Structure 1
Amino acid sequence: MATAVETLGKLERRITISFPLTDVRTEVEKRLKVQARTAKAPGFRPGKVPLKMVAAQYGYQIESEVLNDKVGRAFNDAANENNLRVAGFPNIVPKEEAAEGQLAFDATFEVYPEVAIGDLTAVEIETVQADVSEAEIDKTIDILRKQRVHFHTKGEAGEHGDGGEPIAANGDRVTVDFVGAIDGVEFPGGKAEGYAFVLGEGRMLPEFEAATLGLKVGESKTFPLSFPEDYHGKDVAGKTASFTITLQKLEWAHLPEVDAEFAKSLGVADGDLAKMREDIKVNLQREVAGRVKARNKEAVMDALIKVAELEVPKTLIAQDSERLAEMTRQDMAQRGMNVKDVPFPAELFADKAERRVRLGLILSQLVGDNNLQATPEQVKAQIEDFAQSYEDPREVLKYYYSDRRRLGEIEALVLEENVVTYVLGLSKVTSKAVAFDELMGSNAQA
């Protein structure tokens, strides 16, 4: 039996559930008898253990299961009878006062809110667009060349030349020994032998790189180095050390020529440079299209948050915060980080969770009101689009269609795109061109 629904807040509700104690005892006895059929105990054959011994061993567990089942069933029945859309899980606690021979529980929970979406035709949304020019292709080729750089001893003649005068300059790879001391005392991490880095890449502090510039192999230099106040090494942060470096090895960087061999290294079998550039352009256009889509989707989501009015269930925010914390932990662990003893307080993710839940409720309302569900054809088209960048597209199709969860992720993506298309079709849209570099440096959060 359940009492009438009490309203405790805008979304918070409470129901009191009660049922006869005899119902629980009857069900517990019934389950104990079933358990006794297979129960084992020293000195007894299976199924011949006295019921009292079975009760002593399994009674508490079975009683908990019975209570959970009865309370859960009663709560679900009450929620259905009152047409309640329960958000998250209820908080169920025993009621202090109950009628004689009765067990009573208070179930406190939240319900899903009403979502009021304003006039979308009055919403102003700025979208972006970007093009891939020959300059972007050239920049990409330069990046690809740098990724394939190889080093030669500077000053020694070789197939590609000698690299010029054997003096350390920006772009050279240097190998050094160094030792640092503060007030004449060496400190942990301040000493190394055979340490290699490329000058000009900013891996080392500016004073360190400046001192290395101009050295020849075998030469040493002593110089002061001031560690920043926010330096990651807390023991030396904000302090000034005296360093001595010795250049042990000096190499110059040789970038591969943009020729047939370079094209082949990028997967162009016949080494055709025009085909290489076209392949790069296609890949860049695909990347640009993805970034543009993400930016524009974010603009739509921002607009929807502004135009929609709703209360967000705290229960759902808490659940999503926990989920985000666990996802972050797993991601860091997969990257090889030791997160065993690292705390991941769920409250750190509360703002992001609140936005995710709010958007989820808004999108659900829009989809239901306007029949924007993902169709099987749309889902297949999206997977096929993903598959284009893989060697065997059929394996990609198989990957998604063999797992309902993976397929659900694609359906959710298509659903979002349907909402974006719908909103952009109604709202006042202006478009602006953005530079390639600006777009590629952005990190839109869908």
Structure 2
Amino acid sequence: MNITVEKKTCAATVNVEVPADKVASERKNIVKAYMGQAKIPGFRPGKAPVKIVEKRFENEIKEELTNRLVQEGCQEAIKQEELKVLNVQAPQSPEFKEDGAFAFETSVMLAPEFELPEYKGLEIEVPSTEVADEDIDNSLKELQQRFADFKDVEDRAIEEGDFAVVDFTATLDGKPVAEAIGKPAGFLEGREGHWVKIEEDSFLPHFGPQLAGLKVGDEKDVTVTIGEDFPISDVRGTDIVFAVTIKEIKIQELPELNDEFAGKLLPEKGLDELKDVIKEQLGQEKTRAAEDAKVNQIVEQLNQAVDFELPEELVAAETQGNIQGMAQRAMQQGMTQDMLESQKEELEESASKQAVTNLKTNFLLQEIAFKEGIKVEDQDVLQRIYQMAQQENKAPKKYIKELQKANAIQNVRNSVLIGKTIDFLVENAKVSGTTENVTEENTDA
């Protein structure tokens, strides 16, 4: 074969010309296979003349020959140039020439090329997994607030710690916020019956304290300077004026922390037993957080240590998937389509950054796995699939068929490989911190 490859960043153009004798040989094999299987009226199977078979299945033979030659040509080009191919596009204008040769051109997506940074002995700090009494007390306070009652206040003005139920509209430079920025502005377009706790950082910074001293029925213009971390970039750093009307004032009445309260959460149990349950749950959460901290620090250090370009098509696809996932989660949390539209630019920017990080991490970990000879056995994949099926509450065999139909088995295998590689990096990291389960071996690694 005559093969030429023009490489670019994460892509290559492959031109292949298959000589006439190779084309003829492949075609002969295909025709032979058709002759043995073809059912043609008037002839016993396998006894029809070659010319009749060729004429009857002309299009099918040509299509199979084209596919076979393209596949073999691409495989030879990949082997010859030692290409790390992620995807091969359909050939452009494949051509059977007059002299019997076959030629085609195709584009392939290549894995990025980079030098691995030092990945063994990475220094990571891990937070403590110890559950302090203060942690338990904070959880109990949260439970108190969750089961609190609210009592109306009618004989005095708003005080710190109260809850104000308010109606408000908001303006920017004298115009409704949505009109001023030219797009939906979410809750900045106004709300009725909105609850605000009278404390510094409730709702928006400095909003609640400005309501102190007001009574039911009072109105007030409250000015808030929007911070640089606000989701809608168009209003960051601006002064929004809220026209507020006080509809109700309420105080929060917390239930007493005693055995009776604990019994509502754990029937026939007391406060001490409730504290024990909370301590166990917090311990599990802190352990998970410590493990996540290890992984996050390793991934961050790897990404900061090396930079390389990524295939644009992959970044675009990953970004789109991130946008869909982020939008779905936001709507599940109560955001409307208008609110999402108002944050479209921020959503796309965040999704794109996450896509680059995810892809870089994936390529880095796969390269480390290759260098270290980390393998994934079929049993590893089956075990992960069984876990996934259990989480989805589906029969394993049915779930496997669903994955096969979606061509997703390889994704599971890759996920297992990434997990094994991360475990390898954690085992070889230098861990410091106050976590109880930092071992001397890890510390000296």
Tell me what 1:142 maps to. 141
Aligned-pair distance for 1:434?
7.6
Comparing 272-281 with 353-362, greater Cα deviation is found at 353-362
Q: Which amino acid aligns with 1:87?
A: V
Comparing 127-136 with 324-333, greater Cα deviation is found at 324-333
Are residues 17 and 292 of structure 1, via their aligned partners in 2, closer, same or farther at CA, if it must alter by over 3 Å? farther
Q: Within 1, Cα distance between the matches of 2:69 and 2:163? A: 70
Aligned-pair distance for 1:409?
7.7
Instruction: Please say if residues 153 and 250 of structure 2, whose CA atoms lie closer than 8 Å, have aligned partners that are also in contact.
Output: yes
Tell me what 2:360 maps to. 355
Q: Within 1, Cα distance between the matches of 2:299 and 2:171? A: 54
Q: Within 2, Cα distance between the matches of 1:274 and 1:300? A: 39
Are residues 423 and 141 of structure 1, via their aligned partners in 2, closer, same or farther at CA, if it must alter by over 3 Å? same
Q: Deviations over 1:196-251 (max 9, x none)?
A: 33322745555653442122334x244463654977596998467583x4433211
Tell me what 1:332 maps to. 327
Tell me what 1:176 maps to. 166
1:408-423 mapped onto 2 (5 Å cutoff): 408=413, 411-412=416-417, 414-423=419-428
Are residues 167 and 113 of structure 1, via their aligned partners in 2, closer, same or farther at CA, if it must alter by over 3 Å? closer
Aligned-pair distance for 1:151?
0.9
Q: Deviations over 1:225-282 (max 9, x none)?
A: 3654977596998467583x4433211111222223432444x232222221121111
Are residues 250 and 115 of structure 1, via their aligned partners in 2, closer, same or farther at CA, if it must alter by over 3 Å? closer
Are residues 274 and 239 of structure 1, via their aligned partners in 2, closer, same or farther at CA, if it must alter by over 3 Å? closer
Q: Within 2, Cα distance between the matches of 1:400 and 1:362? A: 34
Tell me what 2:254 maps to. 255
State the TM-score, normalized to the length of structure 2: 0.63
1:141-220 mapped onto 2 (5 Å cutoff): 141-154=140-153, 166-178=156-168, 193-200=192-199, 202-205=201-204, 208-218=207-217, 220=218
Q: 1:88 aligns with which of 86, 91, 99?
A: 86
Instruction: Please say if residues 2 and 17 of structure 2, whose CA atoms lie closer than 8 Å, have aligned partners that are also in contact.
Output: yes
Are residues 401 and 213 of structure 1, via their aligned partners in 2, closer, same or farther at CA, if it must alter by over 3 Å? same
Are residues 377 and 81 of structure 1, via their aligned partners in 2, closer, same or farther at CA, if it must alter by over 3 Å? closer
- RMSD, aligned CA: 5.4
Tell me what 1:74 maps to. 72
Q: Within 2, Cα distance between the matches of 1:306 and 1:212? A: 46
Tell me what 2:434 maps to. 433
Are residues 333 and 104 of structure 1, via their aligned partners in 2, closer, same or farther at CA, if it must alter by over 3 Å? same
Instruction: Please say if residues 87 and 313 of structure 1, whose CA atoms lie closer than 8 Å, have aligned partners that are also in contact.
Output: no
1:104-143 mapped onto 2 (5 Å cutoff): 104-109=103-108, 123-130=121-128, 131-143=130-142
Q: Deviations over 1:284-313 (max 9, x none)?
A: 111111111122123334555678x8x968
Tell me what 1:285 maps to. 283
Aligned-pair distance for 1:431?
0.8
Aligned-pair distance for 1:401?
4.7
Instruction: Please say if residues 171 and 199 of structure 1, whose CA atoms lie closer than 8 Å, have aligned partners that are also in contact.
Output: yes
Are residues 259 and 294 of structure 1, via their aligned partners in 2, closer, same or farther at CA, if it must alter by over 3 Å? same
Q: Within 2, Cα distance between the matches of 1:12 and 1:262? A: 65
Are residues 375 and 192 of structure 1, via their aligned partners in 2, closer, same or farther at CA, if it must alter by over 3 Å? closer
Q: Within 2, Cα distance between the matches of 1:379 and 1:186? A: 57
Instruction: Please say if residues 161 and 197 of structure 2, whose CA atoms lie closer than 8 Å, have aligned partners that are also in contact.
Output: yes
Aligned-pair distance for 1:178?
4.6
Q: Deviations over 1:294-343 (max 9, x none)?
A: 22123334555678x8x96844x642551342143134135425479968
Q: Within 2, Cα distance between the matches of 1:396 and 1:109? A: 37
Aligned-pair distance for 1:142?
1.5
List runs of 5+ in structure 1 lacking aligned partners. Answer: 38-54, 156-164, 388-393, 436-446
Aligned-pair distance for 1:112?
5.6
Identity rate, percent:
14
- What SS class does the counterpart of residue 2 from structure 2 fall into? coil
Q: Which amino acid aligns with 1:323?
A: E
Instruction: Please say if residues 367 and 373 of structure 1, whose CA atoms lie closer than 8 Å, have aligned partners that are also in contact.
Output: no
Tell me what 2:50 maps to. none
Q: Within 2, Cα distance between the matches of 1:116 and 1:183? A: 53
Are residues 10 and 174 of structure 1, via their aligned partners in 2, closer, same or farther at CA, if it must alter by over 3 Å? closer
Aligned-pair distance for 1:84?
4.2
Q: How many residues align?
A: 381
State the TM-score, normalized to the length of structure 1: 0.63
Instruction: Please say if residues 363 and 419 of structure 1, whose CA atoms lie closer than 8 Å, have aligned partners that are also in contact.
Output: no
Are residues 198 and 395 of structure 1, via their aligned partners in 2, closer, same or farther at CA, if it must alter by over 3 Å? same
Are residues 101 and 190 of structure 1, via their aligned partners in 2, closer, same or farther at CA, if it must alter by over 3 Å? closer
Tell me what 1:273 maps to. 271
Q: Within 2, Cα distance between the matches of 1:11 and 1:223? A: 56
Are residues 325 and 103 of structure 1, via their aligned partners in 2, closer, same or farther at CA, if it must alter by over 3 Å? same
Are residues 84 and 291 of structure 1, via their aligned partners in 2, closer, same or farther at CA, if it must alter by over 3 Å? same
Q: Which amino acid aligns with 1:295?
A: A
